[in-house]
Amino acid sequence: MQVRYSTKLSLQEYIEQEAWNQAYLDHCPFHPEGGCGLARHGFYARKLPEYCLIARYYCPKGHTTIGLIPDFFCSRLPGTLDEVEHAVNVAQESKSQEEAAEKLRPEITLTSALRWLRRRIRYVREALTTAAGLFTPGCHPDLKSFRQWLSSNRVLFRLRRSVSDFLQHLPPVVGFGPRITSRYFNEFHLQQ
């Protein structure tokens, strides 16, 4: 499980200060009344865009680890929210997704770059569609509309902070809820 680690630090400051050591979870999200034995459970690494650590806790009663994701990091996707938003902005400003993919990821094949870009576009669209339906009736689920609503150029970052009480219900990359769609799921899919 992932929960928000509210911080005003940038990625660089987070790394320089080794802020993962100060990250603290005051109560278990599964057992707010306490008594579950919540304990620090070390760290795990995020390698992109730069190597750093994420603080983690363990709930023995729920048999679950809980990662404290800083405000600037994506959920369930490598990188930062600003990087994802930049990629979607480049895609919207380009003549085609192919052109945007070549600009953003010239070091990999076009097919891989398109897959990389389309995944980010889909995640942003899902998060904004859900947020628009829940919090801003009449607001279009696109970055431009949310820029106006939030009065900010950092839409995904500000959205996470603005709707922090509902992050477990919002889809990634902003929220910590489940992905809305699955490429491999259908009603006849059986696990081996």
Instruction: Answer yes or no: are the C-beta atoms of 46 and 52 closer than 8 Å.
Output: yes
Amino acid (1-letter code) at residue 130? T
Average pLDDT for 38-47: 95
Domain assignment present for 27:
yes
Same domain, 37 and 6: yes
Distance CA 164, CA 41 (A): 24
Confidence of residue 109 (pLDDT cuts 50, 70, 90): very high
Domain assignment present for 57:
yes
**Which residue matches tokens 């930062």?**
80
pLDDT in tens, 62-71: 999 999 999 9
> Looking at the predicted structure, is the pLDDT value of residue 185 above 50?
no
Domain assignment present for 116:
yes
- Rounded to two decimals, the pTM is 0.86
Last residue of a domain, one of 38, 70, 102: 70
C-alpha neighbours within 13 Å on the C-beta side of residue 76: 20
Same domain, 55 and 102: no
What pLDDT score was predicted for residue 135? 78
pLDDT in tens, 11-37: 999 999 999 999 999 999 999 998 999
Tally the domains of the chain. 2
Confidence of residue 183 (pLDDT cuts 50, 70, 90): low
Q: Which long-range contacts (CB under 8 A, 24 or more apart) does 14-21 make?
A: 14/52, 14/70, 14/72, 15/50, 15/52, 18/53, 19/70, 20/52, 20/53, 20/54, 20/55, 20/68, 21/55
Same domain, 112 and 157: yes
Distance CA 1, CA 165 (A): 15
- Can you give the residue range of the structural domain that contains 51? 2-70
Domain assignment present for 91:
yes
Confidence of residue 180 (pLDDT cuts 50, 70, 90): low
Distance CA 163, CA 135 (A): 8
Same domain, 65 and 89: no
pLDDT in tens, 156-178: 999 999 888 889 888 889 999 87
> Looking at the predicted structure, is the pLDDT value of residue 186 above 60?
no
Confidence of residue 189 (pLDDT cuts 50, 70, 90): very low
Return all residues near 183 (Cβ < 8 A) that are at least 6 apart.
none
Domain assignment present for 75:
no
Domain assignment present for 174:
no
Same domain, 87 and 160: yes
> Looking at the predicted structure, is the pLDDT value of residue 61 above 60?
yes
Same domain, 93 and 34: no
Instruction: Answer yes or no: are the C-beta atoms of 36 and 2 closer than 8 Å.
Output: no
Domain assignment present for 188:
no
Distance CA 69, CA 43 (A): 11
Domain assignment present for 181:
no
Same domain, 109 and 134: yes
CA terminus-to-terminus distance, the chain: 25
pLDDT in tens, 79-106: 999 999 999 999 999 999 999 999 999 9
Average pLDDT for 139-165: 90
Same domain, 32 and 52: yes
